[in-house]
Amino acid sequence: MNQVEQIEMEQVLDTAIGVLILAAGASTRLGKPKQLLQYQGQSFLRHTANVAIASGCQPVVVVLGAQTEQLRSEVSDLPVTIVENPDWTTGISSSIRAGLEALHDQCPMLEAAIVTLCDQPLISVQLIEQLVEQYWLTGKRIIASNYADTIGVPALFDLTLFPDLMALKGDAGAKLLIHQLIHEAVSVPFPDGAIDIDTSQDYEQFLQAIA
């Protein structure tokens, strides 16, 4: 690595970027918490938290809602901030607000945040690093993941977009804002983001695919 590349990397690493993991849903179609489904010997929730931690981004905030106590034990020993959203039944937007407030409380100098779900089990440290790198290289306010002919989360949002995220209502999530501000966004490839596990059959197909 030459001197210029080293300076660039140090600037990337010095950027204060948090991770918000949304895990408040009740998984009604699955019939049990999808956050507890297993992947590589750990639950989806714990795996996602460990990936976020390993990326070096901080702070990491986990928003819980349904089955809070059961899920809390999955990550209570990790260096994450656990937030309980009492309004989780009103939609994902309330969890985004709760999580962003917690991120700001933990790090008032936060420059951006990565919003992700806990049911995209093939999320990786490399993906998060790409989101951060593209944020710094392009100067764009949104760096999103590209999969299945769409773009969505995991996605990085600049601090200036926090009010827009917090203004979302009901079940409107971060993807809505990405599409509203598509001219502000660039994307990185994440084909495995298309994996959508809502039912037991989805999970069985996922296990077969990775076997």
Name the residue with higher pLDDT: 10 or 77.
77
Q: How far does CA 175 lie from the centroid of its chain? A: 12
Burial class (CB in 10 A: 0-12, 13-18, 19+), 31: exposed
Give 84's strand partners: 64
Give 156's strand partners: 114, 143
Nearest CA among 176, 12, 11, 16 for reference residue 104: 16
pLDDT at 14 over 60: no
**pLDDT above 90 as % of the chain:** 85
161-203 pLDDT, tens digit each: 999 999 999 999 999 999 999 999 999 999 999 998 889 999 9
Q: Is 62 helix (H, G, I), strand (E, B) or coil?
A: strand
- C-alpha span between 45 and 35 (Å, rounded): 5
CA 26 to each of CA 49, 58, 92, 98: distance values in angstroms, whole numbers, following the listed order: 19, 27, 11, 17
- C-alpha span between 58 and 42 (Å, rounded): 22
The token pair at 179 is 């599409």
Confidence of residue 211 (pLDDT cuts 50, 70, 90): confident
pLDDT at 12 over 50: no
Domain regions of the chain by residue span:
3-210
What stretches of the chain adopt beta strand conformation (E)? 17-23, 38-39, 42-43, 60-64, 81-84, 112-117, 142-147, 150-158, 185-189
Arch. (CATH architecture) of 3-210: Alpha-Beta Complex (3.90)
Give me the mean pLDDT over the 84-111 stretch: 95
